[in-house]
Chains A and B, each alone.
Chain A
């Protein structure tokens, strides 16, 4: 039985740190960094991580196809916020998929994204599925490291199911070998990286063909017939070199998004695949490779159905929705790469009662409120007595999801008194289109932006609080302005 991609989506955070400022700030130490100081890299906001970005990519992917019947959710990353608490489980709660869905974290290698996709295809081909593969990456890099310049934060999601879908799987292959181009040991915050020339010559040029050749053979496809080659390395001309070695057409080598996003680790092959699907026409062949302790390769053929399948924004849409950022110090500060004086207000205990969280998980992680079965009034959160002053009926609340409902801003402020990782703290009252409201944190508001009453807002899943004492983080939903750009947008 065949498997194919049913839907796809992506996410790139709004802020794009200009590489020039990173290189200039660190040139005193390593002037060679100036060679990498071109273009921009996507940086997650302080309240984003691999989990929240994966949720956004999944929402982007599922906007058209809906969420019914998904059998599995795989989450791939090497930067999971939790070592032992299933990260895919958090995504499932945020997407309101939790329950009978099979959830799995896939980690440990830059190949995690493609390996999860292959496994998903195998399940879908064997009468399982649909399987949602989501992958997000927010890598922590040392100041003045090449990785700080070449990596970017992003996520992608691919929904795989039985049948041809919008892109039919023609074949796939994996080659495994313990080739260690870089590693990050237990409890180490940063990657340890070996020489680039060795990685290119002995890694990319020799290992990638081992997987790609077999995948093409399984697909019964000549290398010359490939239209889109997704090769996620940020190394200059690495994709072209590998393509030449394999015999792929030079024009098939896709933009690795190094100029606009940066390489998003395990998520990057899927980011590039989602990006390719946005551009591909029916009949075109897409080859995606994931490199890391070997190589995964998958070959897809776009079907006629692809013309009708569009993610909500897609990688292209998110790449356009950007704000050029030159505040390198803020980037270092919010990511804990310099010791910031957070002040005494930051010392309040942010312990989360795990009993409290479990009891309220649908409200907190799924933004599920209530609807009165008597008067129809929507409210968040749910309560035993309806909030409508003309109703107040007891015990009439039915679950009602709010996360996908359009909202507008009624009042807000930018607060410089309350503790925030990145002041000022924006928050205010938002009102949902079909009813209900919430006094809620805002995010992705640019400093200096004036929001107007009636401003359209969209709910996004974010980190609410970091409990630094215990290594826990609290997630909740926030409201973000819908508009593509804001005042002061340097883009």
Chain B
């Protein structure tokens, strides 16, 4: 009987590049920057790393296919390098690969690195591209904001919510993330905004305005992982360990079967339930100290609060407006600025979230450090579209917390 991943793997070191419009850097520069920080933090030599996972989502825009870009950029010593892609969950997927490798006993030290270099398209937003030869024939002509915007109309219909109430709660989500991002030196966006600015911004995809959407960024993040025993042998104390690694992938029910009303994410519900079980969490609203969720759009973050079973169904608007998820609130969400402001280099995003948890738990988050000592943090990625997506939930925490 499988017992799960809880406390079987520790984070030895982490690194994260500055996110943003890195006009003068290639993907290999970003990887080098994040890896340098992680290696120094881990306190091991590069050749202790026995296997590596590379996450990139839109690799045709920058590094190209396979594990080669990572192996070459870091001059890894001819070890196994696996490239993974699972939409926006790619970074968490790389982390899963490395953690599982260590937990299995196949290797002692493993590397997960995610990178995305998106600012070479000539325009803002994600690149417009083919979705596959068959899909192109019948999929709607949707962009990411357009697909996620539909959560809003379905959520409003489900809960009988006036448009303005939802718009204001969505605005609060973004204002909060900008406040948090302003305190993060590595964040892409560090400006503060107010509610009026959000509400009056140009519409991208109704009802999402410009400030309801995260931008796209260049960046890289990485983790070096090992068993707790090895970490201790290297002199590490106050270990941050992996508590849960879950992934849920749509099987087409939402897209094709009328049992789904479009107002929530089936995958997030399933992945989070399994993650809580794996981590031994029974009351996430009380037991979690921090959340880093996939706030690709403000509406996504809002609805995710319910799908993670933090807010009751239909109750996210109240929690958001009450400041429950603000940096000074009971359960801060996106204390680093989130995708919205830290930035969203797709392949790096999952690892960036874990990076923030790691810093917070070690008390290394600087100006944005949560006052009450964080012990358990959840990160969440959502890749694809509400009607067919990939959701990862990772929980990390203080060892034996």
Q: List the interface of chain A (C-beta within 8 A of B).
A: 343-350, 352-353, 356-357, 360, 363-364, 377, 379-381, 383, 387-389, 410-420, 424-425, 427-429, 431, 435-441, 453-454, 464-465, 474, 476
Pairwise interchain contact B149-A413, C-beta atoms closer than 8 A: yes
Distance in angstroms from A69 CB to nearest chain B CB is 30
Contact B153 A411 (CB under 8 A): yes
A428 and B137 within 8 A (CB): no
Residue of A381, A383, A412, A431 ringed by the most chain B CB atoms within 10 A? A412
- A353 to chain B minimum Cβ distance, whole angstroms, is 5
* Closest 5 pairs between A and B when the two form their complex, measured CB to CB: A415-B146, A427-B140, A411-B150, A413-B149, A418-B143
Q: A427 contacts B142, CB within 8 Å?
A: yes
List, in ascending order, chain A residues with CB within 8 A of B373's CB: none
Closest Cβ of chain A: how far from B259's Cβ, in Å? 7
How big is the B interface, by class?
A: 35 or more
Alpha-carbon distance between A427 and B387 when the two chains are bound, in angstroms: 13
Residues of B within 8 A of A454 (CB): 157
Inter-chain contacts of B204 with A (CB < 8 A):
415-417
| Least distance between B188 CB and chain A CB atoms (Å) | 18
* Segment from B98-106, B119-127, B223-231 that makes contact with A: B119-127
Extra contacts, 15 of them, besides A387-B257, A411-B151, A440-B140 (Cβ < 8 A), are A344-B121, A344-B123, A411-B154, A413-B205, A416-B204, A418-B146, A419-B141, A427-B140, A428-B140, A429-B154, A437-B257, A439-B147, A439-B387, A464-B141, A465-B136
Which B residues form the contact surface with A (CB < 8 A)?
121-123, 125, 128-130, 133-134, 136-143, 145-147, 149-151, 153-154, 157, 202-206, 208, 252-253, 255-259, 261-262, 385, 387
Per the bound structure, the CA–CA distance linking A389 and B255 in Å amounts to: 12
Instruction: Note all chain B residues with C-beta closer than 8 A to A352.
Output: 133, 136-137
Contact indicator A439/B261 (Cβ below 8 Å):
no
Cα distance A349–B60 when bound, in Å?
14
Known: A387-B257, A436-B256, A453-B157. A415 touches B128 (CB 8 A): no
Residue of A nearest to B257 (CB): A387
- Interchain Cβ contacts under 8 Å between A and B, 7 examples: A410-B154, A415-B146, A416-B205, A439-B147, A453-B153, A464-B137, A474-B136
Contacting pair A357 B137 (CB below 8 A)? yes
User: With the chains together, A346 CA to B252 CA distance in Å?
Assistant: 29
Q: In this complex, what residue of B is CB-closest to A478?
A: B140
- Count CB-based A-B contacts (< 8 Å): 141
CA distance A413 to B255 in the complex (A): 16
Chain B: CB-nearest residue to A390: B259
Q: Which residues of A contact B255 (CB under 8 A)?
A: 437, 439
CB neighbours of B133 from chain A (8 A):
352-353, 356
Q: Is the beta-carbon distance between B145 and A417 smaller than 8 angstroms?
A: yes
Which B residues touch A474, using CB under 8 A? 136-137
**A410, B157: Cα distance in complex, Å:** 9
Residue contact A418 to B258, C-beta cutoff 8 Å: no
Closest Cβ of chain A: how far from B156's Cβ, in Å? Answer: 8
By the criterion CB–CB under 8 Å, are A348 and B257 in contact?
no
Q: Are A389 and B259 in contact (CB under 8 A)?
A: yes
Contacts of B259 in A (CB 8 A): 389
Residue of B145, B151, B205, B208 most packed against chain A (CB within 10 A): B205
Provide the residues of chain B in CB contact with A465, threshold 8 Å. 136, 141
Q: A387-B253, A388-B257, A453-B153 are in contact. Are A360 and B134 (CB under 8 A)?
A: yes
Which residues of chain B come closer than 8 Å to A379, judged between CB atoms? 256-257
- Across the interface, do B145 and A425 meet the contact criterion of CB distance under 8 Å? no
**Given known contacts A425-B146, A439-B387, A453-B153, A417 and B141 CB-to-CB distance under 8 angstroms:** no
In the complex the two chains form, is B150's CB within 8 Å of A412's CB? yes
A348 to B157, CA, bound (A): 35
Residues of chain A within 8 A (CB-CB) of B146 are 413, 415, 417-418, 425, 427
Q: A363-B138, A429-B262, A464-B137 are in contact. Are A415 and B143 (CB under 8 A)?
A: yes
Across the two chains, which residue of chain A brings its CB closest to B388? Answer: A439
Once the chains bind, are A476 and B138 in contact (CB under 8 Å)? yes
Report Cα–Cα, A437/B253, bound state, in Å: 10
Residue of B with least CB distance to A356: B133
Find chain A residues with CB under 8 A from B149 CB: 413, 415
Given A352-B137, A356-B134, A380-B256, the answer on whether A345 and B128 have CB atoms closer than 8 Å is yes
